[in-house]
Chains A and B, each alone.
Chain A
Amino acid sequence: MSTPEHVVIIGNGIAGITAARHIRRISDKKITVISAESDFFFSRTALMYVYMGHMKWEHLKPYEDWFWEENRIELKQAYVEKIEASSKMLFLRGGERIYYDKLILATGSVPRFLGIEGEDLKGVQGLVSKQDLELLEENTRTCKSAVIVGGGLIGVELAEMLHTRNIPVTMLIREKAFWQNVLPLQNAQFISRHIESHGIILKHETELKEIKGTNGRVTSVKTSAGEQIDCDLLGISVGVKPNITFLEGSEIEIDHGILVDPYLQTNITDVYAIGDCAQHKEPKNGRKDIEAVWYTARMMGETVAQTICGKPFPYNPGHWFNSAKFFEIEFQTYGYVSANPGEHEQHLHWEHPDGTKAVTIAYHPENFRFFGINTFGIRMRHEVLDRWLTDERDLEFILSHLREANFDPEFYDRYEKEIFSSFKHQVRERLEH
């Protein structure tokens, strides 16, 4: 019997590990996962809960340590310095070399910095890796106040984390309201209000201009409004970028990320890229070319596993969905609700007077086809909304069946009636004009 093919996966995040698990499920290939970040796979999205004291580091590991040996997935903590595609060889830091038959790049992302002078000062950091979390612990040991740049998901996580340590936080947000490049303005303002209700200071339509420091440590920042704000910690959360610097100079074609075809293969045969680091040459279904999202990374892992195991499968994600939590408010979205709808998309907004629940539904103004829904503080059933999107239901159907999609715990107050009458009112007004 010939030796089994050796699949090497660089990166032990959700993308790489999902690929490894699915390859193991359907094949007997030899699997090695290389990561420089941590010994074992952990849930990056939960790093905040360790800092907040909800969980310990070991709780972040979705699989117990015996799992890897039992499933014959070899984990290797090492840093890959160079890939030589012609000889299918990986060069590790320290001189070791590894031969692969198939290579999957799942190296994830690193925080994006702004390129402003002073970003290398102590106390300036992002939050993506386990090392970033350790650094944050170090940086906030004596921190009196913090500034966070960027109104996105990592920004609000960082704010919530610091809030639990009683560190005053000011956030600089480029847009009119929180995460407004993704959320419609009304939703974004709704979240801004909620964040402010915790005592976080939000500076909207404000950007970072200058970073000042003494003795190599950040002391204050200057904003585009000319304001100077003192801080011992400057959190940069203006987004992430693919972690691909080690590929520069290799034959693997890169742009912002690693360029892949619909089969998640790079320009080099037998080399694939998935997750945050992959950039789709031909994104499908109106998707972005780089989607640094937990769920899409998992899907790419599932897809590439099929391709590698002899069933070539193009990556073709189904309906878009995502979720997040802003302090107490859970957010779920299914389908597309555009931040800036054009003339072919209209929105209905409902907001509960207590400021913790809201629903936005997007639809086509002429044929009333349902595009997508944003819910805040109300849980929705993925399966139901996924089906409605597939069935191309219209607004009337969605509104009258909204109750079926509710996923809130038992005995919770229901708002479908309120939402229904509020929306009926809005639609009637629009039709009359």
Chain B
Amino acid sequence: MSTPQHNMSLSGEPPATLSTTQKVATGIGWTGVFIFTLAIFNLQLPQMFLWLGLGLISLGVIIFANDQYYGKPAGVKNDGIWFKSMTARGVLAWGTAILLTLFYVVLYWFPQYLGYNPDGANSGLVGLFDPLSRFISGQPASQWFVYGTFYTLAILIFGYKFLLKYRHNKYEVLRTFSVMFFQLGFAFLIPEILMRLNQPYFNPVNIWPLNYDLFAGYKLSEFFSAGNIGLLMLFFGIASIFVITPILTYFYGKRWYCSWVCGCGGLAETAGDPYRHLSDKSRATWKFERYIIHTVLVLVVVMTIAVIYSFLNENPDQFWLNKNVFLLGSAAFLVLLFGLIWIFKRHRLAKDAKKGAIISLSIVLAIIAAFYFSGMTYGYLLRQWYGFLIGAAFSGVIGVGFYPIFGNRVWCRFGCPMAAVLGMQQRLFSKFRITTNGGQCISCGNCSTYCEMGIDVRAYAQKGENIVRSSCVGCGICSAVCPRGVLKLENGALEGRINSEAVLLGNDVDLLDLIRQQKKATRDPHSSPFNS
């Protein structure tokens, strides 16, 4: 490099970017946050402070978003993102990450500091939310209700901002309305209302294995004691895993869930949107990602089998299902699934994916055998540890807390077992792909930079290759930020979906043909899908 770099970017700082209106909006929003901070100090705040706090935060974000996007031409506006402290891992980003992380730590492990009191009246922040909680579910608030309210509010108000930012793109608009709807209706209101009706807390779109509690002993007891409705819920939960999910993924790819329905995805797409470019695209991270996410999947499978096994062990007379039959059945199911994939889709898998699958299956089968022969029941303990390590520490603390540092899909990308399951379905049998108009690609890198899942989209686009990566959540932003219209999310025929022999158009047809042949002949079995 010929000149020394003084700055994070090649081109240094632009002029100050906050307008007066935006400064005022920031003030309004933070006043709202301040009110909730006051509540933490255990002050008995009047009821109106709750509404005032929520209102001010919403108002602040809405005014800010309006000033930022309204009255300006619709189109992708990422100006200055890498110059701003908040979105370029500056002081503000680190501060926000640390604050969020601390909030999660308190929320998960020290809710009493938020004023949560399971044995008496709530105080502080949780107490402030009591009236709202009573209004919806008829019960006093818990720390989870407070969190759920903030979470939903974040998706709604930042969803509004997202809608303004991408208003020229109908795919983004519909998708955002969808995540807002599912968060408000299905994730927030329906479970609370079910509680009011004395039914089990149940969110129909929170599907196992993301919802690792679905088969927890306490949950199963709840379902079974709730009569037909409980059984219906359990049945729906199981059908979601084995029937609904695979069918929808076959037609639309995993995006129907990850970026249209899921609450984790919902928050990532709305509140997390300003951080999407921070995800690491290096090959090293990609390798790490595949190991870690599938490890979590193995963990959740083992944990779930153990939990159900323990439950059957403790209630042997209540069910037709014998604990050992269940174990053998689970093992048989996994072997069958593996066998089918091996027979029909083996040629679609890379060498290390095959190795990983064999190792994973062996581990699960070994643990099942250990259960079978020892009769041990570590189910609850395992669930506790899974809940602590994955459910709380990974998905919450790291997953959201680190948005401003590692990007908005840390959890979805590295930890979500649901994403791993859907990813396999998407990779192996789905009509979904991102088609590339590779001839028109200028390798600018906008697509890769703004891929929240850390996929090096450009590596495919500049080769003219369709993208069928299992991690792709189909957010559509790569297509939106492409200045040449090179990428398109599509559901189409399975035939020709994977076109690794593609060559870039525009050349002499004889040459294209020759290159295609050479590509086939020299395909290095060790090469990664990156950059080859």
Closest to B174 in A: A411
A contact residues, total (Cβ < 8 Å): 73
A164 at interface by CB-CB < 8 Å: yes
B82 at interface by CB-CB < 8 Å: yes
Chain B residues near A67 (CB-CB < 8 A): 531
| Alpha-carbon distance between A164 and B446 when the two chains are bound, in angstroms | 17
- Indicate if the CB atoms of A317 and B508 lie closer than 8 Å: yes
A133-B10, A328-B74 given; A43·B484 CB < 8 A: no
A60 at interface by CB-CB < 8 Å: yes
A302 at interface by CB-CB < 8 Å: yes
| Alpha-carbon distance between A410 and B253 when the two chains are bound, in angstroms | 14
A134-B3, A409-B170 given; A49·B446 CB < 8 A: yes
| Alpha-carbon distance between A323 and B484 when the two chains are bound, in angstroms | 6
B171 at interface by CB-CB < 8 Å: yes
From B79, B442, B462, give the contact of A54 (CB < 8 A): B79
Closest to B8 in A: A56
Query: Min CB distance, A135 to chain B, in Å?
Result: 10
- Indicate if the CB atoms of A14 and B75 lie closer than 8 Å: no
A59-B448, A164-B80 given; A295·B483 CB < 8 A: no
| Alpha-carbon distance between A411 and B511 when the two chains are bound, in angstroms | 37
B196 at interface by CB-CB < 8 Å: no
| Alpha-carbon distance between A313 and B508 when the two chains are bound, in angstroms | 10
B32-40, B364-372, B395-403, B515-523: which lies at the A interface?
A: B515-523
Closest to B170 in A: A411
B11-19, B150-158, B384-392: which lies at the A interface?
A: B11-19
A39 at interface by CB-CB < 8 Å: yes
Closest to B504 in A: A298
- Indicate if the CB atoms of A25 and B522 lie closer than 8 Å: yes
A227-235, A239-247, A358-366, A378-386: which lies at the B interface?
A: A378-386
| Alpha-carbon distance between A22 and B532 when the two chains are bound, in angstroms | 11
Contact with A along B1-45 (1 / 0, CB 8 A): 111000011111011000000000000000000000000000000
- Indicate if the CB atoms of B506 and A319 lie closer than 8 Å: yes
- Indicate if the CB atoms of B437 and A382 lie closer than 8 Å: yes
Chain B residues near A332 (CB-CB < 8 A): 440, 484-485
Query: Min CB distance, B483 to chain A, in Å?
Result: 4
Chain A residues near B170 (CB-CB < 8 A): 409-413
| Alpha-carbon distance between A59 and B73 when the two chains are bound, in angstroms | 26
B203 at interface by CB-CB < 8 Å: no
- Indicate if the CB atoms of B511 and A59 lie closer than 8 Å: no
| Alpha-carbon distance between A130 and B510 when the two chains are bound, in angstroms | 36
Query: Min CB distance, A182 to chain B, in Å?
Result: 17
Query: Min CB distance, B25 to chain A, in Å?
Result: 19
The residues in A between 33 and 58 inclusive whose CB is less than 8 angstroms from any CB of B are 38-39, 43, 45-46, 49-57
- Indicate if the CB atoms of A60 and B445 lie closer than 8 Å: yes
B343 at interface by CB-CB < 8 Å: no
| Alpha-carbon distance between A315 and B511 when the two chains are bound, in angstroms | 9
Chain B residues near A166 (CB-CB < 8 A): 15
Query: Min CB distance, B503 to chain A, in Å?
Result: 9
Chain B residues near A53 (CB-CB < 8 A): 9, 11, 14, 78-84
The residues in A between 284 and 332 inclusive whose CB is less than 8 angstroms from any CB of B are 294-295, 298-299, 302-303, 306, 311, 313, 315-319, 321, 323, 325, 327-328, 330, 332
Chain A residues near B476 (CB-CB < 8 A): 409
B290 at interface by CB-CB < 8 Å: no
Chain A residues near B510 (CB-CB < 8 A): 313, 316
- Indicate if the CB atoms of A165 and B449 lie closer than 8 Å: no
Chain B residues near A410 (CB-CB < 8 A): 170-171, 489-490
Closest to B476 in A: A409
- Indicate if the CB atoms of A55 and B446 lie closer than 8 Å: yes
Chain A residues near B148 (CB-CB < 8 A): none
- Indicate if the CB atoms of B82 and A56 lie closer than 8 Å: yes
From A43, A63, A198, A306, give the contact of B514 (CB < 8 A): A306
| Alpha-carbon distance between A117 and B521 when the two chains are bound, in angstroms | 57
- Among A25, A55, A298, A319, the most chain B Cβ lie within 10 Å of the Cβ of A55
- Indicate if the CB atoms of B485 and A133 lie closer than 8 Å: no
- Indicate if the CB atoms of B79 and A52 lie closer than 8 Å: yes
A248 at interface by CB-CB < 8 Å: no
Chain B residues near A319 (CB-CB < 8 A): 506
| Alpha-carbon distance between A327 and B483 when the two chains are bound, in angstroms | 10
Chain B residues near A390 (CB-CB < 8 A): 509
Closest to A319 in B: B506
From B444, B518, B522, give the contact of A46 (CB < 8 A): B444
From A134, A311, A318, give the contact of B10 (CB < 8 A): A134
Contact with A along B495-508 (1 / 0, CB 8 A): 00000000011111
The residues in B between 51 and 71 inclusive whose CB is less than 8 angstroms from any CB of A are none
B282 at interface by CB-CB < 8 Å: yes
Chain B residues near A382 (CB-CB < 8 A): 437-440, 505-506
Q: A133-B11, A318-B507 are in contact. List 11 more A-B contacts (CB 8 A).
A: A25-B522, A53-B9, A54-B481, A56-B10, A57-B9, A63-B531, A130-B10, A318-B506, A332-B485, A382-B505, A407-B485
Q: What are 10 A-B interface contacts by the 8 Å CB criterion?
A: A59-B448, A62-B459, A134-B3, A299-B507, A382-B440, A386-B505, A407-B435, A407-B437, A409-B171, A413-B170
Q: List 8 A-B pairs, minimum CB-CB distance, nearest first.
A: A328-B75, A379-B485, A46-B444, A53-B80, A411-B170, A57-B10, A316-B508, A45-B442
Interface residues of B (CB under 8 A from A): 1-3, 8-12, 14-15, 73-75, 78-84, 168-171, 174, 277, 282-283, 435, 437-440, 442-446, 448-449, 458-459, 462, 476, 479-481, 483-485, 488-490, 504-512, 514-515, 518-519, 522, 530-531
